Amino acid sequence: MNQKLTYTMQEVMVAVAARQIRDGELVFVGMRLPLLAFAVAKRMHAPRAVGLFECGLMRDEPAPELLYTMSDPPNIAGAIWSTRMINLMGMLQQGAVQLGMIGGAEVDRFGNVNTSYIGSRQRPTVKLPGSGGAADIASLAGRFLIIMQHERRRFKERVDYITSPGFGEGGDWRRHVGLPGRGPAAIITTLGTLSFDPETKEAILASHHPGVTPDEVCRQTAWPLRVSPAVHETAPPTDEELAIIRHCDPDGFWTRP
């Protein structure tokens, strides 16, 4: 935790992600920070948002306990639907899910995410776990958020392998390859928030978190990161947001590094 700040960068990320959830939206919720973001949004500004969990669950109330995985018993009890994965994935492909959230090990200039192979596919330096449902969210959700650790080795000009498609090579690449979803809306990192140029689809620094300078963000990015003319400090989590986050994750399992 930054010594001057009364919150962690993870808590900032949760608050920023939560603000992206609009009321009434169907949200493909992952684990960890996205799950907390869903809880914050529900209690703050999006009481009618509904969460989908790819293991086969839908909830309109966050689980009352901290979850380590989406299939934990508290997430099942009180769900509004407990079903087969394919039903939720089908809704995703139908276009019924407005927002999804994914993590990643590497991301590039156009928001493509790698969670599969670092190095070559044949003989990788690091074998990462793979897509899970992230590639489906990135392909099919109305829009999605990428939530990541901001380090120079992870923010690469070009990822080694596209697991979850962002804007590919930029421009209208998504339309060209046939992807239905509109692509990433933002990359929410430990240092700031990146949005995408509406034309070129290149990632642009939109805000830097409290205590972080735009220069620091650029230094931790391996391509020449464009900085928005409107760049500003990320609005820090409010007391109310923090209270919800800490209620959900009292021991800081996900939010205190």
Partner 1 sequence: MMGKVMTMAQAIGRFVPDGCSVLMGAALESLIPFAAGHEIIRQRRRNLTLIGPISDILFDQLIGAGCASRVIAAWVGNVSAGLAHNYRRAAEANTPHRLDIEDHSNFTLSLALLAGGLGAPFIPTKTLLGTDLLPGSQSFQLSSEPDTGAPLVHVQAITPDVAILQVQRSDREGNAHCWGNLGVSEEGGLASRGVIIVAEEVVSREMILSDPNRVLLPSAKVVAVVHEPWGAHPSPVQGFYGRDHGFYEQYHLASRTSEGFEQWLKGWVLDVEDRTGYLARLPKDRLNQLKPSQRRLAAPVDYGY
Name the residues annotated as catalytic. Answer: 54
Closer to partner 1 at the Cβ: 74 or 257? Answer: 74
Find out whether 114 and 161 touch, Cβ atoms under 8 Å: yes
Closer to partner 1 at the Cβ: 3 or 251? Answer: 251
Segment lying near partner 1 (by CB under 8 A), choices 12-20, 33-41, 74-82, 187-195: 74-82
Smallest gap from residue 227 Cβ to partner 1 (A): 28
Cα–Cα distance, 124 to 5 (Å, whole number)? 39
Find out whether 207 and 213 touch, Cβ atoms under 8 Å: no
Closer to partner 1 at the Cβ: 241 or 249? Answer: 249
Smallest gap from residue 14 Cβ to partner 1 (A): 18
Residues 132-151 interacting with partner 1 (rule: CB under 8 A): 132-136, 139-140
Count of CB atoms situated within 10 Å of the CB of 90: 12
Residue 86's SS3 state is helix
Find out whether 10 and 257 touch, Cβ atoms under 8 Å: yes
Closer to partner 1 at the Cβ: 40 or 118? Answer: 118
Q: Which tokens in the block code for residue 115?
A: 């969670």
Q: Are strands 184-189 and 203-208 parallel, antiparallel or unpaired?
A: unpaired
**Which residues is 147 bridged to in the sheet?**
188
Cα–Cα distance, 99 to 181 (Å, whole number)? 10
CA 155 to chain centre: 15
Smallest gap from residue 19 Cβ to partner 1 (A): 22
Find out whether 91 and 67 touch, Cβ atoms under 8 Å: no
Residues 80-139 interacting with partner 1 (rule: CB under 8 A): 80-87, 89-96, 116, 121, 123-136, 139
Smallest gap from residue 172 Cβ to partner 1 (A): 12
Cα–Cα distance, 115 to 108 (Å, whole number)? 12
Smallest gap from residue 25 Cβ to partner 1 (A): 10
Q: Determine, following the binding rule CB under 8 A, whether residue 255 of this chain makes contact with partner 1.
A: no
Closer to partner 1 at the Cβ: 85 or 231? Answer: 85
Task: Give the contact letters, 30-49, x = binds to partner 1 (CB under 8 A), - = no.
Answer: -x------------------
Cα–Cα distance, 123 to 151 (Å, whole number)? 24
Identified binder of partner 1 from the candidate list 163, 190, 207, 220, rule CB under 8 A:
163
Q: Which residues bind partner 1 (CB under 8 A)?
A: 26, 31, 50, 53-58, 60, 68-74, 76-87, 89-96, 116, 121, 123-136, 139-140, 161-165, 168, 173-174, 177-180
